[in-house]
């Protein structure tokens, strides 16, 4: 059985809730053929990176799917790339607001997600869940986490597949925000269920195609 860790963030930017953590919490209540583990990540530069590095180092799961909030999105955004840049439009939850700073000094400019991103988007689409490939995870703590996790996995030679998915606002967050798209919690959770199953199936197929010689 494959082990997949899903992370979500604490609320930030004046919001009372964060749909990423709400959806991850609910996902853990859904039984399935995949071993799922949840971790909440602080919306704080530096602390967030250390949190995902601890997950990778301590658990060494088969997959790490970080989930974050992207207000204004109309569906699930499966991120393809993390860039080596912290550039915050608003302060994080510790009051930090870095501008034009590298996440890892001297690190690569970017890392590609190691999840089967297109396969995930296609599976979500078949299930009727709005989803798209995204080529920018921004430059706030979401991108900070994606880049940091990919860098740690690469630097330590881990086999863990790492990626990031943004989710829209919940309906209650869209109240008072004119023309702001949102998505029900149930739809988000169903989307993450599909991601978990699709990722597990893909990992199993990779094992069959490239069996260990140990």
- Minimal CA–CA distance to 65: which of 155, 181, 150? 150
The question of whether 122 is a catalytic residue gets the answer: no
Structure tokens at 145: 């986490």
Question: Annotated catalytic residue: which of 53, 142, 144, 198?
Answer: 142
Q: How many alpha carbons lie under 13 Å from residue 191 in its C-beta half-sphere? A: 30
Helix 185-209 with 117-126: angle, nearest 10 deg: 130
Question: Annotated catalytic residue: which of 79, 144, 151, 182?
Answer: 79
Neighbour-count burial of 15, counting CB atoms closer than 10 A to its CB (0-12 exposed, 13-18 middle, 19+ buried) = middle
Pair 149, 66: CB distance under 8 Å: yes
Give the integer Cα–Cα distance in Å for 170 and 138.
Answer: 20
Helix 185-209 with 19-27: angle, nearest 10 deg: 60
Question: Annotated catalytic residue: which of 166, 182, 193, 198?
Answer: 166
The question of whether 144 is a catalytic residue gets the answer: no
Give the integer Cα–Cα distance in Å for 147 and 189.
Answer: 24
The question of whether 142 is a catalytic residue gets the answer: yes
DSSP SS3 for 44: coil
Give the integer Cα–Cα distance in Å for 187 and 183.
Answer: 7
Residues marked as catalytic: 79, 142, 166
């Amino acid at each position: 059985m494959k082990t997949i860790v899903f992370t979500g963030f604490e609320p930030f930017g004046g919001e009372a809730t964060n749909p990423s953590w709400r959806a991850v919490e609910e996902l853990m209540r859904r039984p399935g053929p995949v071993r799922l583990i949840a971790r909440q990540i602080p919306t704080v530069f530096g602390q967030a990176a250390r949190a995902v590095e601890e997950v990778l180092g301590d658990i060494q799961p088969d997959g790490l799917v970080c989930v974050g909030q992207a207000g204004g999105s109309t569906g699930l955004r499966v991120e393809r790339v993390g860039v080596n840049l912290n550039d915050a439009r608003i302060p994080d939850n510790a009051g930090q607001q870095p501008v034009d700073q590298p996440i890892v000094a001297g690190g690569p400019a970017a890392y590609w997600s190691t999840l089967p991103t297109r396969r995930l988007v296609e599976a979500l689409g078949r299930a009727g869940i709005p989803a798209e490939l995204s080529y920018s995870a921004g430059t706030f703590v979401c991108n900070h986490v994606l880049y940091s996790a990919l860098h740690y996995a690469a630097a330590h030679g881990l086999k863990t597949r790492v990626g990031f998915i943004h989710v829209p606002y919940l309906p209650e967050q869209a109240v008072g925000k004119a023309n702001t798209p949102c998505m029900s919690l149930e739809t988000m959770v169903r989307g993450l269920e599909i991601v978990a199953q699709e990722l597990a199936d893909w990992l199993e197929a990779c094992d069959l195609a490239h069996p260990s010689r140990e």
